[in-house]
Amino acid sequence: MGKVLAILFGLITMVAGVFLVLFIWGPLVLDLIFACIPLILFFGGLIAFVAGISSMKDAVRAKALEAEAEAEFGDEQADLE
């Protein structure tokens, strides 16, 4: 009986929420959504910017490690010959 009651209460609450959003607070909800769009764009751009810088730093670090490893192994190859 508790599960059925929970399902019914959930459905009633969902219908009440949709009713309130559509008929009572509709313009306020739209204002909230439109107010969040610039913030989402700003923080999305900031994350992309930081990811790009991090990727560039990683590429430079990898290239430096490759050069270091090549120099180290090149010295070992010369010693073996």
Per-residue model confidence as pLDDT tens digits over 19-62? 998 898 888 988 998 999 999 999 999 999 999 999 999 999 99
The per-residue pLDDT for 80 is 56
The per-residue pLDDT for 69 is 84
pLDDT at 78 over 80: no
Collapsed DSSP state (helix, strand, coil) of residue 9? helix
Total number of residues shown for the chain: 81
Categorize the per-residue pLDDT at 75 as very low, low, confident or very high, splitting at 50, 70 and 90. low
In sequence order, the 6+-apart residues with CB closer than 8 A to the CB of 21 are 29
What secondary structure letter does DSSP report for 7?
H
The per-residue pLDDT for 60 is 94
